[in-house]
Amino acid sequence: MPCMVSRTGREMQRYNSSGGRQVVGCIPYRYKEDSDGNVSNELEVLMVSSQKSQALMFPKGGWELDESVEEAACRESLEEAGVTGFVQHELGQWSFISKRHGTYYEGHMFPLLVEEQLDSWPEKDLRRRIWMSVNEAREVCQHWWMKEALDILVERLTLQQNRNI
């Protein structure tokens, strides 16, 4: 059973060599099913609202000292979006300025092939989650670096599909 409480505080937070906070996120994804349960090639991604507003983004948060980067990605997806699954090869690393703190952060993004969507999760009362198409996600995502990660994911999955044809 997954932990049903979000981690809080910054005592265990990782920082890079220039003092920037290290954050990790996931792009939870799945392939759309029709009413008969047949899986299509149409990709859907899961976005969550910010805690402070209704702005949409992919689940992300601090990478802590007692976990690997992949463990942090899984934890954030569970805490913020209530999904579990398989974390795949990192999409990339970005440097961006935190709007709230005005300092540079280091962001790592991973794809997460969703295996299970929970009815109850740690931040259920703080966030809303919504499955949407890639194009919809690109339009509403609040962070440029997350949009870049989404583009990399789509390119990677398209190449894999083309190899399997």
- Is residue 12, in this structure, part of any structural domain at all? no
- Is residue 34, in this structure, part of any structural domain at all? yes
pLDDT score for 124? 95
CB 114 within 8 Å of CB 59: no
pLDDT digits (tens, 9 = 90+) for 115-160: 999 999 999 999 999 999 999 999 999 899 999 999 999 999 999 8
CB 110 within 8 Å of CB 87: yes
DSSP letter, residue 163: H
CB 61 within 8 Å of CB 25: yes
- Is residue 3, in this structure, part of any structural domain at all? no
- Is residue 1, in this structure, part of any structural domain at all? no
- Is residue 6, in this structure, part of any structural domain at all? no
Among candidates 142, 1, 15, which has minimal Cα distance to 78?
A: 1
pLDDT at 13 over 70: yes
- Is residue 10, in this structure, part of any structural domain at all? no
- Is residue 159, in this structure, part of any structural domain at all? yes
Q: How far apart are CA 5 and CA 80, in angstroms?
A: 10
**The tokens 């390119």 sit on which residue?**
155
CATH of the domain at 101: 3.90.79.10
What domain range is 158 assigned to? Answer: 22-163
pLDDT at 104 over 90: no
Between residues 4 and 105, the one the model is more confident about: 105
Q: What is the enclosing helix (H) or strand (E) of 90?
A: none
Structural domain tally of the chain? 1
Q: How far apart are CA 95 and CA 86, in angstroms?
A: 25
- Is residue 13, in this structure, part of any structural domain at all? no
pLDDT digits (tens, 9 = 90+) for 61-95: 999 999 999 999 999 999 999 999 999 999 999 98
